[in-house]
Structures are given as C-alpha cells and as structure tokens.
Amino acid sequence: MTELAVFDKQIRRAKAILEGWGGAVEHLQVPFTTREEIESFKRRVGLAQRKEGKPTIVMAEDTAVELGHPRDTSINLVLWTFNPELIEDRTIHLYGPDLDKTNGARLPYAQIILLALKKGFSVDPFSLESAQFLSNRLPGYMVRMLPGRLWVRVSRQALLDGLNFSVLGGALIAAYYDDFPGVEKAEVAFVTAGNDMVKEFVSIAAETKIIAGNNKKLTLVGDGEYECEDLNCDDCGEREVCDDIRDIIILRRKGKKE
Amino acid sequence: MKSIAVSGKGGAGKTALTAMMTKVIIGKGTPGKILLVDADPAGGLAPALGLSVEITIGNIREEIIRSVRKGGRKTKAQIAGAVDYKIMEALAELESFSFLAVGRTETDGCFCPVNDLLRDAIEILLKDFDLVIIDGEAGLEQINRKVMRSVDSLIIVTDPSHRGKRTAAGIKDIVETQRLMKSDQMALVMNRIKGAVGLGEEAAREVGLKLAGCIPEDENITRYDSMGKPLLELPEDSPGVVAVQGILENLRIN
C-alpha cells in the first residue's frame, strides 16, 4: 500500500480559522478516557458497531434539526497527520448553536475531523473518510453524503434522548478509536453559525480533495469490492458502464450492513 | 407497509384515481406516512396534486450514467454513497404525504443495473412509509424496474372503450403469466361510466377481474383538469370522490 499523504498544513489552517473566532467557539471535552468509559458511553448513546447499524431514515415531519440541507452550505473534512502535537485529543469545538437549542431549525453545517495516526499506520483513505458519516450507527441520526457535502437530519426523539454535539462528537471520536487501531488522537469541530463561517473551510476542502484524489489511487481491498476493470465488451458498447454500476451496488449493499 | 399500484390504458384515468384515493385517505385522517410515486414518464400526477417536480429518479439515473462514464474507482465509491443523498433530495416531503417522480429516461440503452441500484435505494426509503401508492403507466415495467416488484393491491383502470378493456385484460395476463408484478389482490375500476348500470360488472367479467367499483363521469374532474387545478381540492361530494371512497372500502384499503 502506498504511503498515506498527510494534511498537516490543512490542519493548521483549519485550527487557525477556529482560533480566529476566539471566544465564540465553545470547547468541550469528551467524557471518556478509558476503554470501559468508551464502552459505557457507546451503550448510553446507542452507538452501533461498524456493520451492525440499521438503515435510518428521518422524514421531515420527524425532524428536529436539519444540518447542511442541499440548499444550504455544507462541508465535511477528515484530515489526518502523523504529528500528534497537532491534535488535541478528545476535544470538540462548536461554533454556533447546539442541537438542543435549534429545535425546528435548518442550519448550514461544517463537520471537521482531525486525526493523529500512529507512525507507520497504513489504511485505505476512503474508509477513514467514510467513517465520519456514522451511517446507520446512531439512533435518530440520518446522514446523506455527496463528495464534499453532508446533509444530516436529527429526529425529535433523538433530541429528547439527549443527542447534542457533545454526544455526536464523542460518538465520532469513539467510532474512530474503535474502527482504526492506528488512530492515536481525534478532535472534532462543528460549525453551525452561518453560511459564511462554513464557507471559510472551502479552500481547505478543495486542497484536500486534490491530495485525497492522489491517495485514492490505492487499490481498495476486501470481499471483491472492485472487480477487475479489464472487461471484454461483447455485444453491448455500454457493458463497462453496467459493470461499474454493479460494483456500486455491491459497495452500497455492503455499506448498508455497516 | 401497504402498497397499491394503479395501471391501465393511457387516458383511462389512473392519475385522477390516484389523486382522489390520496384525497380520500388523507381526508379520513388515516394515521401513518403516505408516499405517492409517479411512475408514469409523462409525469401527470404532480400537477394533479398541485406539485412541481424538481428532481426525478430519471434525472438521478442520467447523473449516475454520466458519472460512471467519466470513470474511475473513486467515482464508484462516491456514487455508492451519493445515491441515497440524491433520492432523499428528490423526495418532496409535504405535510400530508411525500412524493417521488420516476420521470423520463433520456439515455438510450437498457442500463438495467442502474435500475437495480435505484430500486435498492428506493426500497430502503419505502420501508419508512405506511402506505405507498404508485401511479403507473399502461405497462408495469416502470414500476417493476424502478420502484418495487410486488404490491398488495394492483388496481387496473379502464374506461368503457373496447381498447381500455383489452388493455386491462392484457395487464392481467402479464401479471399472471409473466409474473412481472406480484400482487395479493388485483381488481378492476371502471371509469367514466355514463348511466348504464351493470356496465362495470360486465366489463369485469369480460376481463376476468373482480370489480372494485365504478367512477361516474364527473364534470368537476374535467373542469379541474382543464383549469390545471389540483384534484386534491375536489369537493368531498364530487361524484368521483364519493365513488373512490366506495372503491377503497371494497378493497379494504382504508
């Protein structure tokens, strides 16, 4: 596997943006340090193990808060480094209203995850990125994603059950610890303060995309996720397109089990 | 989840029946979430409900084919995640019901796997609804390929014309012999009946189906259609609406 590219420069820039907002940014510490505390936290918030969640759909009528709706700005970033000094472990930054203070609202949304990886840790960058969605892993939390966009619905019941950014950040951090043994530190930032604030991360997202594009040239492995693309076209000139789509179906069906 | 599909000859009144069923069901305050699917490429259900459609399943299909043609493994992984986003974006969520339009297919070629891909995503969405009503086209291919392969009730609509009844018999035959669509009950609705009592029973016997009911010629429907007024706004006592109440009772749908 090719060595992972890292995002040290982009992490510094993301942190500089957060620091630039000064006292407006709330800093929270996740309530776990030991393995037992992580397990207890997961049970309390209902965080499912990877591949054990159920497909979640939250309809508009059941939605308490909507983040990053297609008509609003949204950005999602996962940035990693091998330099642990860049990451404040188990820290959550929040700029803007928390979920429990935004009942009924539709807000722009940035979700930024910063990870310190153990030296020499090698991983498929696509799986590092896809873990950020917590797809089907939190009750009452529906997430839909396009490259660079993240659309979240939080159900009324989830809000009543105590879902807020502290819980969501904790769940993301716990998920990264659980899913990737090479994750040494994890830090999360949420921005709901406004479109302009979310847009401050656009240039970082663009840079990341280019760098991640290089990363994604790696071969993805496991259970025949990708078949050989060297196909023989028989009668239909679009055979390759259809085969590619079959691959996508496999990817999705596997994803639904996660 | 209960499901109803409406099929029949073009112009027989499938869309009007679907809209009136929706009106009756909503009017009764039936608990649960309702999804209406316009599986007719002509897309007549949205205006009958007073909606305008921004994104159809057809649009998403084109986008997938375009993206895949651009190629690359990265694209595959991204599309896998993006399908749910796009379907959710295409879903119009209103206070009383949600709406999804299948729309037209523009790219030549079969691309059957795209239909499988989309149906996978739609089936996940359907699970969250209590009642799904699908307004189909004459053939059942659109429903089968793009929405679902089995329904609880299949309603075949015909007008009194010979062609309408032949189409209804043809649909019944397709369902029974080619198993294009599974359904627990299949029934005939006779639309635009003028006077003659017993015409519906006669047609049902001819076609070989149970008669769910007859809808009389309703001037309100014609007037609303010509004015572009949503059929959901038809008066409660409009003859068509009253007849549809009876049809739903006969089919034990409501």
Task: Indicate the range of A130-134, A166-170, B25-29, B176-180 predicted with least confidence.
Answer: B176-180
**A142 and A235 together in one domain:** no
- Kindly state the DSSP code that residue B177 receives in the 8-state scheme: I
The pLDDT of residue B6: 94
Decide if A53 is inside a domain.
yes
Helices A165-179 and A35-45 sit at what angle, rounded to 10 degrees? 130
Domain match, A210 and A258 both? no
Q: What is the pLDDT of residue B253?
A: 82
Q: Using the beta-carbon criterion (under 8 Å), do A245 and B113 form an inter-chain contact?
A: yes
Residues of B in contact with A253 (CB under 8 A): 120
Q: Tell which of B79, B91, B111, B120 to mutate to test the A interface (max A CBs under 10 Å).
A: B79
For residue A1, is it within any domain?
no
Q: Do A233 and A247 fall within a single domain?
A: yes
Q: How far is CA B212 from the centre of its chain?
A: 17
Count up the domains in chain A and report the number: 2
Which CATH number characterizes residue B169's domain?
3.40.50.300
Distance CA A109, CA A128 (A): 20
Cβ atoms of B168 and B161 within 8 Å: the answer is no
Do the beta carbons of residue B34 and residue B165 sit within 8 Å?
no
Q: What mean pLDDT value characterizes chain B?
A: 87
User: A254 and A147 in one domain?
Assistant: no
DSSP letters, A36-99, are HHHHHHHHHHTPPPTT--------GGGEEEEES-TTS-EEEEEEEES-GGG--TTEEEEES--G
User: Strand pairing of A106-107 and A63-67?
Assistant: parallel
pLDDT of residue A203: 84
pLDDT band of B110, cuts 50, 70, 90 = low
Domain that holds residue B188: 2-250
Indicate whether A148 belongs to any domain: yes
Q: Based on the domain organization, do A226 and A206 belong to the same domain?
A: no
Q: What is the extent of the structural domain holding A61?
A: 8-219
Question: What is the distance of C-alpha B99 from the center of its chain?
Answer: 11
Residue B98 bridge partners (DSSP): B35, B93
Considering only residues B151 and B148, tell me which one the structure prediction assigns the higher pLDDT. Answer: B151
Taking a C-beta distance cutoff of 8 angstroms, is the pair B43, B101 a contact?
Answer: yes
Residues A155 and A230 in one domain: no
Question: Using the beta-carbon criterion (under 8 Å), do A149 and B85 form an inter-chain contact?
Answer: yes
The separation between CA B20 and the C-alpha centre of its own chain, rounded to angstroms, equals 12
Contact A251 B76 (CB under 8 A): yes
Chains A and B: how many Cβ contacts under 8 Å? 95
pLDDT at A240: 67
Element (H, E) at B156: strand B150-158
- Residue B53 in contact with partner chain A when CB distance is under 8 A: no
Same domain, A206 and A231: no
Residue A2 covered by a domain = no
Pairwise CB contact (< 8 Å): B83 & A146: no
Residue B246 and residue A217: Cα distance in Å, rounded? 61
CA-to-CA distance for B234 and A238, rounded, in angstroms?
Answer: 47
A152 and A56 in a common domain: yes
The pLDDT score that the predictor gives to residue A232 is 35
Cβ–Cβ contact B252 with A under 8 A: no
Contact B128 A146 (CB under 8 A): no
User: What is the Cα–Cα distance from B221 to B240, expressed in whole angstroms?
Assistant: 8
How far apart CA A89 and CA A28 sit, in angstroms, is: 11
pLDDT, position A237:
59
Question: Sign of dihedral through CA atoms A10, A174, A151, B145?
Answer: positive
Q: Are residues A37 and A117 in the same domain?
A: yes
Alpha helix stretches (DSSP H) within B109-254: 112-126, 141-146, 162-173, 199-207, 219-227, 239-250
Report the alpha-carbon distance of residue A109 to residue A67 in Å, rounded.
5
Question: How is residue B125 written in tokens?
Answer: 């969405």
> Looking at CA atoms only, how far is residue A57 from chain B in angstroms?
7
Whether pLDDT at B153 is above 80: yes
Q: What is the mean pLDDT of residues B57-70?
A: 84
Does residue A125 form part of some domain? yes
Same domain, A232 and A184: no
Give the pLDDT confidence score for residue B154 in this predicted structure. Answer: 92
CB A244 to CB B76 under 8 A? yes
Does A256 share its domain with A129? Answer: no
Gap between the terminal Cα atoms of chain B:
13
What confidence category does residue B197 fall into, taking pLDDT thresholds of 50, 70 and 90?
low
Q: Where are the beta strands (DSSP E) in A69-207?
A: 74-81, 91-95, 106-107, 109-117, 141-146, 149-155, 183-191
Sheet-wide strand order for A74-81: A26-29, A91-95, A183-191, A109-117, A74-81
CB-neighbour burial class of residue B162 (10 A; exposed 0-12, middle 13-18, buried 19+):
exposed
Buried/exposed code over A7-18 (b: 16+ C-beta within 10 A; e: otherwise): beebbebbbebb
Inter-chain CB proximity A147 and B78 less than 8 Å = yes
The tokens for B238 are 């409009």
Give the Cα separation of A115 and A79 in Å (integer).
Answer: 6
Domain identity same for A48 and A156: yes
Long-range contact pairs involving A247-251 (C-beta distance under 8 Å, separation at least 24): A247/B76, A248/B64, A248/B68, A248/B76, A248/B79, A248/B80, A248/B83, A248/B117, A249/B113, A249/B116, A249/B117, A249/B120, A250/A224, A250/A225, A251/A225, A251/B76, A251/B77, A251/B80
- The confidence score (pLDDT) of residue A231 equals 33
Bridge-based pairing of strands B98-101 and B34-38 is: parallel
In a domain, A3, yes or no: no
Contact at CB, B77 and A126, closer than 8 angstroms: yes
pLDDT score recorded for residue A238: 61
Among A149, A213, A243, the residue with its CB nearest the CB of B74 is A213
Per-residue pLDDT of chain A (258 residues; tens, 9 = 90+): 456 778 999 999 999 999 999 999 999 999 898 999 999 999 999 999 988 888 788 999 999 999 999 999 999 999 999 999 999 999 999 999 999 888 778 999 999 999 999 998 888 888 888 899 998 899 999 999 888 889 999 999 999 999 999 999 999 999 999 999 999 999 999 999 999 999 999 888 878 877 765 444 333 334 433 333 333 335 565 666 667 777 777 877 776 655
Nearest to A249 among B33, B74, B120 (CB): B120
Q: Which of A149, A236, A248 sits opposite B80 (nearest CB)?
A: A248
In a domain, A64, yes or no: yes
Say how many domains are in chain B: 1
Considering the domain boundaries, does residue A74 fall inside one? yes
Looking at residue A182, which CATH number applies to its domain?
Answer: 3.30.1650.10
Which DSSP state fits B9? S
